[in-house]
């Protein structure tokens, strides 16, 4: 069985922390991070707001991301091995295809690109309020540092715009409260995934 989980959400909402924890506990679990598909800085346009447009879908090579995902779908065992993911030992005499393989796709714009949405077995979205998001963002160090005013001038307005778009695109989203403790979030998602996998057997 193949099971693909989307963990999306607002910037600094806790997506990666949650993803890394879930990945460690689930068997045969690979992860694709959307952040690995950003185009080079010189290909990022400057918008009418005066900022480089990092927080939009065109800043990402979504075609490459979908192709990476397809690679996993075609051969999760090969994908796991090439990414150094340990696989569960096979039960005596059973075929590799009989195993459950899980892929987590993590990113801030997962549900705004239709070719990606159709892959997901389960869609999660982490939200936090404006003040908390701004506070967390200001404590992070990025490879390309945030210029002054970027959060209010670009990051947050784009988040609101994309969230509205996403709600029209993708109906089956489970919203998660990013203000809950890391343990609460993890337990909630882990239990939900377990139940969904049992139901789809």
How far is Cα of residue 173 from the mean position of the Cα atoms in its chain? 13
Per-residue H/E/C for 66-121? HHHHHHHHHCHHHHHHHCCCCCCCCCCCCCHHHCCEEEEEEECCHHHCHHHHCCCC
Distance CA(178)–CA(126), nearest Å, equals 5
CA distance readout (Å), 134 to 8, 118, 148, 175: 18, 32, 12, 20
User: What span, in angstroms and rounded, lies between the C-alpha atoms of 147 and 29?
Assistant: 36
User: How far is residue 121's CA from residue 119's CA, in Å, rounded to a whole number?
Assistant: 7
* Residue 177 annotated as catalytic: no
CB 169 within 8 A of CB 112: yes
List the catalytic residue out of 35, 49, 152, 177: 35
Q: Which residues are catalytic?
A: 35
């Amino acid at each position: 069985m193949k099971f693909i989980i989307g963990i999306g959400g607002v910037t600094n909402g806790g997506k990666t922390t949650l993803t890394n924890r879930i990945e460690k506990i689930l068997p045969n679990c690979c992860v694709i991070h959307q952040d690995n598909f950003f185009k080079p800085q010189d290909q990022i346009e400057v918008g009418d707001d005066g900022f480089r447009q990092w927080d939009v879908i065109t800043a990402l090579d979504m075609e490459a991301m979908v192709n990476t995902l397809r690679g996993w779908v075609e051969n999760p065992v090969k994908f796991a091995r090439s990414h150094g993911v340990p696989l569960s030992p096979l039960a005596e005499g059973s075929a590799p295809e009989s195993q459950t393989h899980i892929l987590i796709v993590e990113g801030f714009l997962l549900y705004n690109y239709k070719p990606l949405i159709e892959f997901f077995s389960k869609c999660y979205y982490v939200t936090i309020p404006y003040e908390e998001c701004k506070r967390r963002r200001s404590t992070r160090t990025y490879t390309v540092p945030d210029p002054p005013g970027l959060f209010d001038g670009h990051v947050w307005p784009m988040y609101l715009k994309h969230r509205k778009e996403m709600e029209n695109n993708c109906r089956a989203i489970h919203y998660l409260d990013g203000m809950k403790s890391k343990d609460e979030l993890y337990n909630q998602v882990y239990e939900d995934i377990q139940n969904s996998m049992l139901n789809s057997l």
